[in-house]
Amino acid sequence: DTEVTQTPKHLVMGMTNKKSLKCEQHMGHRAMYWYKQKAKKPPELMFVYSYEKLSINESVPSRFSPECPNSSLLNLHLHALQPEDSALYLCASSQESRTGGFYTIYFGEGSWLTVV
Amino acid sequence: AQSVAQPEDQVNVAEGNPLTVKCTYSVSGNPYLFWYVQYPNRGLQFLLKYITGDNLVKGSYGFEAEFNKSQTSFHLKKPSALVSDSALYFCAVRDDIEAAGNKLTFGGGTRVLVKP
């Protein structure tokens, strides 16, 4: 089973709203990711969590705030977004090793975000 | 730095004909190479990967890819394309010595259109 579950599938929010995207995996993966994807473009890495600690932040604006409550869950808190933040937000996970190596990243179906 | 190029924005092929999607990469060390497929309004699905070993890698849905170190290529192939293979295909690379955490670099994507 290589399933990453994301909710909601669609979200419309105003520029003053606060909302959250949620992601869950039960594959025992210890690395979790948030990517942003614009139409017909490749995914862009936003954040990486490794063993529940933030390990990579790709200079993402502070209006995006990630949270990893435990090894199975990953949230992305959204506040004061701009219309240009409208995109598909993909959560992903992979195995992780403290001694190196790289493992396949598995993606969820994504959350379509529209900022109005 | 690691990079990957997909020279064709779109590939058109008739159903039943062979399908090839091109990918070339650049890394400092040895590459970890991946292919993903994205169907309309869906997340990315993992197709196959090359880490080490046999240069010909077999993956899901009848796809295979050939690793060519001298040409720094990892082209995706399918002997007989189906209309249902119409999708957006992404090649991705990770350098084994890149000190950048779990960062996967994606190509720009190639849209495949299989006509009946």
B54-98 pLDDT, tens digit per residue, is 999 999 999 999 999 999 999 999 999 999 999 999 999 987 765
* B39 interface with A at CB cutoff 8 Å: no
* B111 interface with A at CB cutoff 8 Å: yes
Under-70 pLDDT residues of chain A: 1-2, 100
Residue B2: pLDDT band with limits 50, 70, 90? confident
Give the nearest chain A residue to B99 (CA atoms): A100
A40 Cα distance to chain centroid = 19
Residue B101: pLDDT band with limits 50, 70, 90? low
Give the nearest chain A residue to B10 (CA atoms): A40
Torsion, Cα of A107, A79, A49, A45 (10° steps): 50
Sign of CA dihedral B51, B36, A89, A20: negative
- Test B96 with A56 for CB contact under 8 angstroms: no
Determine if the peptide bond prior to A8 is cis (ω within 30°): yes
pLDDT of residue B103: 82
